[in-house]
Amino acid sequence: MADHDWVTMAEAKEALQIGQNDETRDDLITMAITAFSDRLDDACGPMVERTILDERHNGSFPNGRHRRTIELNHSPVKEFIEVIEYQEGSPKELTFQPPGGNIFEAFYSSPTRKEPDVYDGIVSRISNGYEHPFYPGMGNIVFSYEAGRVPSTEDVLPQYKEAFRIALKSWFRSYQLTVLAQRPADEFQKPQQVFPAFAIPNATRQMLARIWKPGVGFGA
């Protein structure tokens, strides 16, 4: 099991109607839990918090093209640990501050519209209360932060766990039909329809609509 999984093994077995003491398919279920967790993290952003260290981004361009915002690789962001801007090789630590303050070396990221307790991961450079270009350079803006929404698998909200279980059960039906199809065929042992192994059911997407990223399709 991975630290960022959306459900526990016990929750998965309950959803699949497999006895908690039945360990014959534990490896398969573990693989599926982590695979679907990764897939939904891609579609919705990280659910369980994980630490991102030393993520580098380019600053402004030497030719005068200003860069005032940077979109982090993982969002939402639960907490910023450290933001460093290298200016001619010298590190300057930026302080988190909303627009309107008076700190020269500062940055800001807005809370997401639907989840006000996490940040959207779009970082603006702030100087004396106003947006300001990042210092020019290649890979000279370095971020360390906590990405995600909740501290652990156990803290994932019930509606999100239910959305996950729907996807997991659809996959498991596909798995069972595939196994059945590999047996000697007769008129009583023919699968009627095979669900695509890693497709995301519409019901799962609808239950995650509040956090589903715009433009992400079912096969994302």
Of 170, 153, 177, give the one whose Cα is nearest residue 204. 170
- Residue 79 sits in the same domain as residue 135: yes
- Residue 116 sits in the same domain as residue 27: no
- Residue 163 sits in the same domain as residue 200: yes
- Residue 92 sits in the same domain as residue 163: no
pLDDT of residue 215: 75
Of 72, 12, 13, give the one whose Cα is nearest residue 46. 72
The answer on pLDDT for 202 being more than 80 is yes
Task: Point out the domain boundary residue: 147, 166, 188.
Answer: 147
pLDDT of residue 173: 87
Q: What is the pTM of this model?
A: 0.84
The answer on pLDDT for 14 being more than 60 is yes
Q: State the total domains in the chain.
A: 2
- Would 32 be classed as within a structural domain? yes
- Would 214 be classed as within a structural domain? no
Alpha-carbon distances of 123 from 64, 66, 111, 133, rounded to whole Å: 20, 14, 11, 11
- Residue 55 sits in the same domain as residue 131: yes
The answer on pLDDT for 193 being more than 60 is no
Q: Which helix (H) or strand (E) holds 144?
A: strand 141-147
pLDDT in tens, 118-162: 999 999 999 988 899 999 999 999 999 999 999 999 999 999 999
pLDDT in tens, 67-126: 999 999 999 999 999 999 999 999 999 999 976 778 889 999 999 999 999 999 999 999
Q: Which tokens go with 45?
A: 């952003």
Which domain covers residue 132, as residue numbers?
50-147
- Would 213 be classed as within a structural domain? no
- Residue 55 sits in the same domain as residue 40: no
pLDDT in tens, 150-178: 999 999 999 999 999 999 999 998 877 76
What CA–CA distance (Å, rounded) separates 141 from 68?
12
